[in-house]
Structure 1
């Protein structure tokens, strides 16, 4: 072994590394580099709390409270959907009674579960946005709209299976 190579545990200088790699030696520095600019002070970053939105919070909570009353008052009607649809037929002037009771019970329970899940998801998203100080007023409206579309589809299944409703819509 030659003595110009570093031994185990020793570090080669940059010039030795360049020579061993077959690269030309580094040219000597021509002139001293300009002094680096003085570091600018970094503004102190504080963990400021996000802006509170009291009107948004109040409006969102008021709509959620109204939604809770609506959900809770709707549950008995969905669980007794046969009678509710018979009354709806009378109001609409459709002769006869609602007779598709089995599917009405099943889809009424499904509609209740969908309403409760939709309301719970709406509350969850709304409070997450309130805590993050993001606008949340629209969440109850969007949650209501989305939930009611799915609940309406649940109601359409037993309605479209009832002969009296079908005869009234076709005739």
Structure 2
């Protein structure tokens, strides 16, 4: 057996000589005329070559990529995101008991603000404190869920805990300020001379 008989017949041009490649390109209508020494029998006719002869387009669709580019792992982003979420969780666990005990929270707040007053209706603020604790918990859970989703999709995530903390803090502060600033005893403490 000769070498020509042992190897398979080329299908995609991998064994074709430059002359055979030129002949194939010319037969498909995509190039110049073949070299004069090339025998016409080197390239068998295909359905594409007959379409080219009729003037039809022989453009084949471009192949789709078989792999996608790997996204960076962003180890530092993961560490910072998880550290911010852990800090937020520790803060949340420490704040919930204080928010539920609204009277104790209000007394501490007034002492730090330098206001010598007492709450006129301590029971009214308790519902606001519980609402603030619930919203604080929901805010942290939402932030943690969005951060986890972003990390699992390998997106930049460090900013999500920061934005979540700011939004949650502003809303919780408003929930706590509403009963304090509407209480007549606290308002008298603000207006009292120091």
- Fold conserved between structures, TM > 0.5: yes
Q: Kindly state the Cα deviation for residue 165 of structure 1 after the two structures are TM-superposed.
A: 1.8
Deviations 1:21-60 (A, max 9, x none): xxxxxxxxxx944574564762532145532111101000
CA–CA distance in 2 between the matches of 1:41 and 1:108? Answer: 63
Give the structure, 1 or 2, with the largest relative contact order (CA under 8 Å, sep 6 or more): 1
Matched, 1:105 2:115: no
Match of 2:94 in 1: 73
CA–CA distance in 1 between the matches of 2:142 and 2:181? Answer: 29
Q: Kindly state the Cα deviation for residue 163 of structure 1 after the two structures are TM-superposed.
A: 1.9
CA–CA distance in 1 between the matches of 2:108 and 2:119? Answer: 9
Q: Kindly state the Cα deviation for residue 89 of structure 1 after the two structures are TM-superposed.
A: 1.4
Q: Kindly state the Cα deviation for residue 169 of structure 1 after the two structures are TM-superposed.
A: 3.0
Match of 1:115 in 2: 136
Kindly report the root-mean-square deviation, in angstroms, between the aligned alpha carbons of the 2 structures: 2.2
Give the TM-score, by structure 2 length: 0.65
CA–CA distance in 1 between the matches of 2:77 and 2:130? Answer: 34
Give the TM-score, by structure 1 length: 0.73
Match of 1:87 in 2: 108
Q: Gaps spanning 5+ residues in structure 2: where? A: 1-51
Q: Gaps spanning 5+ residues in structure 1: where? A: 1-30
CA contact (8 A) 1:89 1:98 kept: no
